[in-house]
Amino acid sequence: MLRHWARLRRGLPCFVTPRNRAQGTIPPTGVPQRFSHKLQGNSPAWLVTSEKSKDWAVPNPSWSQEMMIQFNRFMEMTKDGRWRKLPSYRSYSDHLPEGLQKEELQSQKRRLFLRNIDREGMGFEYAMFMNLSEKRVAAVFQMGPYLEGPSGFTHGGAIATVLDSMVGSSVFSVSRRIVTANLNINYRSPVALGSVVLVDSRVDKIEGRKFFASGEMRSTDGQTLHAEATGLFIELQPQKETDSSSSP
């Protein structure tokens, strides 16, 4: 595990991929252009890129200097093709291929929980990256002031939300037809509001329809373990998934 964090923490140059595909650098305090992230050949269907919706997993003026540094380190890791940045839209329906999008899911009132705050920087600011061959999803998160629990620190429920989303995303990289059966979280150290953390998640084992996965949240220098989680996910059988989607 330490070698994974060492790779994420390497001092890499600031690098991002502009929409015009020209390579360039962005200073940590700069305002970047929009990004384009296309599917790779073996990517699951749920990782579809929408041309109509805004990708919120890109820098905005609320991002701190540390957030920009970590984001650019992750972007550097995408250059060899093993890692790719995941788009993040406001609605679940925007993550579905056009043929699977349902009209009732396209309501403007629907929001993914991590994207349910309109003001930039006040809630969850994040970008996720996937390594499909390793069944891993890693991310950089900035915890906004609307996530307060104890005075000056992030609410434990917000930390649980991050870990639930990350561990689930690593399983989604293998199978989209899964539900959470169990999630255990150990809190190790509080997370100050406004701080930036790194989250790493992975699929540890697959037994038939059972997926065992885990994840952890650390400080950007890798020295402080804030929280860790383990989860059990069950892959739905096709008939059960159909029945569930058709029920009122």
d(CA 27, CA 204): 37
Cα Rg of the chain (Å, integer):
18
Phi, psi (rounded to 5 degrees) for 142: -115, 125
Asked if residue 154 lies in contact with residue 143, where contact means CB atoms within 8 angstroms, the answer is: yes
Contact 135, 167 (CB under 8 A): no
Nearest CA-CA partner of 202 in 116, 133, 120, 107: 133
How many distinct helices (H) and strands (E) make up the chain?
4, 7
CA atoms within 13 A on the CB side of 29: 0
Check 55, 164, 200, 243 and give the catalytic one. Answer: 164
CB 226 within 8 A of CB 219: yes
Is residue 164 annotated as a catalytic residue, yes or no? yes
**Which residues are known to be catalytic?**
164
